[in-house]
Amino acid sequence: MAEGRSFDVVVIGGGPGGYIAAIRAAQLGFATACIDDWTRAGDKPALGGTCTNVGCIPSKALLQSSENYAHADHAFAAHGIAIEGLSIDVAKMLARKDKVVAQNNDGIAYLFKKNRIAFFHGRGAFAGRDADAWRVDVAGPGAATIVGRHVIVATGSAPRALPGVAFDNVRILDNAGALAIAEVPKRLGVVGAGVIGLEMGSVWRRLGAEVTMLEALPAFLGAADEAVAKEALKSFTKQGLAIRLGVRITAVRVGKDDVAVDYTDAAGAAQSATFDRLIVSIGRVPFTTGLGADKVGLALDARGFVEVDADCRTNLANVWAIGDVVRGPMLAHKAEEEGVAVAERIAGQHGHVDFNTVPWVIYTSPEIAWVGKTEQQLKSEGVAYRAGSFPFSANGRARALGDTTGFVKFLADAGTDRILGVHMIGPFVSELIAEGVVAMEFGASSEDIARICHAHPSLSEVTREAALAVDQRTLNL
Ligand code: FAD
Ligand code: NAI
């Protein structure tokens, strides 16, 4: 075991929060170490955390494969392209996904070398404090005791299970299981119609599964703008996702070949359904197992999140925490922002994270994206606003693409015209939302966007037209 290696900054966790924090700390001239325990085949490290291994990246790989299949099945014919004997080789699709993941794992390992970050493969645990530094034990292939003047906790999150229903990743699947189903299930159940449920449900629906989604809340996608949620529900239902709202699960019985779910529906009537597999995607919980938080008195809140202030400082001197293990949205880019900001604060700079401009994207078809306030939030806060929307159906590029679902909506302050929220549903809105984020960061008005030249023909013209719509002067509608 290597003993006594000292660092300015030790990062525990190599997901998007941790690895980005390590890179920024190294850029700022700190001697930096990162500890991560994720392991792939051959006992090799797999840097990148949940996001790279069983989250953002593999889900987007499968969404792309399944969308290609769906296009070949339904959309190509209109272009005069005929395909006979269309089939999907699930093993090959999963192997491609694994390759994409491995490329990302290797890319982060390369970035660590480039930035001279010492990497320790294993589980990091607080061991105590010596003078002005923290001792951290690493258990695993890279076993060592290392010392850090500052420690950044970036240990992420884990899937939340239904009470009494353990994940086995055979019948009851968490996110990792949902990304690795070896053949298209005939009947797929999904508990929780949130972000993971919709993305993973879409993948397997496109490949032919009958998908039933059981959602506890009476409203669909409550965090999204109501108009967007309504349009999304219409589209997903048309695609064959059977979305049941206001459901209460009463029993889950795992059989040898299937899983039966008893529930009450929105009207309170008892229902039962049997599935080949059941994805449980009902949110995630902070992960601090094995971190040694007790040993050093690192404060956790009642829900198990590491307690931090607005600057990601914990209750312990020079111990910081970022990403999914602390309050705020569980998003990779939020974790990254906090990682950068903390490294800069350690360097005495003024790192900042603006929670008002963290974008949300759901990579379904149509895609959904938003930044800032929803119309229902503005109403409940009593803010006077003006709204402007423009549909993709009136856009030449969208027609040429053959994808005219959805719209862009701007919400602007009624007095100052400052943009308060941008909401999108439609083609490539995961990319278009960046304009809304930039606009809000710069404190732009809807008129600013309306006066900016946007390329023709492009989907971004829908953004401009929606900004024009705030002043009721669209040009193409
Ligand atoms: P994590 O990525 O969870 O990384 C934590 C790392 O620390 C892990 O490698 C873990 O093994 C390691 N670790 C934990 N404890 C220790 C320890 N004691 N010692 C050493 N190592 C330890 N977000 C988006 O923004 N966009 C998306 O498209 C998106 N898609 C997602 C799809 C799915 C299916 C899921 C599950 C999540 C998705 N997310 C997405 C959320 C995103 O993955 C998380 O918000 C993000 O990974 C959080 O980053 P993090 O660094 O805080 O934690
Ligand atoms: P989620 O919070 O998005 O959705 C969980 C859903 O489950 C909610 O609609 C909730 O009402 C419902 N639910 C909770 N308990 C239930 C129960 N007992 N029965 C039925 N329904 C129940 O969480 P999800 O989908 O698990 O994803 C976790 C997090 O991962 C997301 O919140 C997001 O932060 C992140 N993520 C982000 C993605 C992206 O940015 N594109 C993609 C996937 C995940």
CA distance linking residue 49 with residue 68, whole number of Å = 27
**Residue 455 amino acid letter:** A
CA distance linking residue 436 with residue 442, whole number of Å = 10
Residue with CA closest to ligand 1 atom 43: 51
β-strands 172-173, 118-121 pairing: unpaired
- Given a contact cutoff of 8 angstroms between Cβ atoms, the answer to whether 461 and 470 are in contact is no
Residue with CA closest to ligand 1 atom 3: 156
In the three-class reduction of DSSP (H, G, I as helix; E, B as strand; rest coil), residue 106 is classed as helix
Centre of ligand 1 to C-alpha 446, Å, is: 35
**Residue 128 amino acid letter:** G
Which residues, 6+ apart, have CB-to-CB distance to 245 below 8 Å?
A: 193, 215, 217, 218, 219, 220, 266
Centre of ligand 1 to C-alpha 83, Å, is: 39
Place of tokens 């060592």: 144
**Residue 81 amino acid letter:** I
Centre of ligand 2 to C-alpha 182, Å, is: 23
- Given a contact cutoff of 8 angstroms between Cβ atoms, the answer to whether 293 and 306 are in contact is yes
Q: Give this prediction's pTM.
A: 0.97
Centre of ligand 1 to C-alpha 43, Å, is: 20
Least distant ligand from the CA of 119 = 1
How far from 93 is each of 67, 107, 183, CA to CA, in Å?
12, 21, 10
Instruction: Give the HSE-up count for residue 110: Cα atoms under 13 Å, Cβ half-sphere.
Output: 6
Of 34, 51, 203, 287, the residue with max ligand 1 atoms within 8 A of its CB, to mutate for a pocket test, comes to: 51
Q: Is 233 exposed, middle or buried (0-12, 13-18, 19+ CB in 10 A)?
A: middle
CA distance linking residue 147 with residue 138, whole number of Å = 11
Instruction: Per residue of the chain (477 residues), give pLDDT as tens.
Output: 444 599 999 999 999 999 999 999 999 999 999 999 999 999 999 999 999 999 999 999 999 999 999 999 999 999 999 999 999 999 999 999 999 999 999 999 999 999 999 999 999 999 999 989 999 999 999 999 999 999 999 999 999 999 999 999 999 999 999 999 999 999 999 999 999 999 999 999 999 999 999 999 999 999 999 999 999 999 999 999 999 999 999 999 999 999 999 999 999 999 999 999 999 999 999 999 999 999 999 999 999 999 999 999 999 999 999 999 999 999 999 999 999 999 999 999 999 999 999 999 999 999 999 999 999 999 999 999 999 999 999 999 999 999 999 999 999 999 999 999 999 999 999 999 999 999 999 999 999 999 999 999 999 999 999 999 999 999 999
Least distant ligand from the CA of 263 = 2
350 a catalytic residue: no
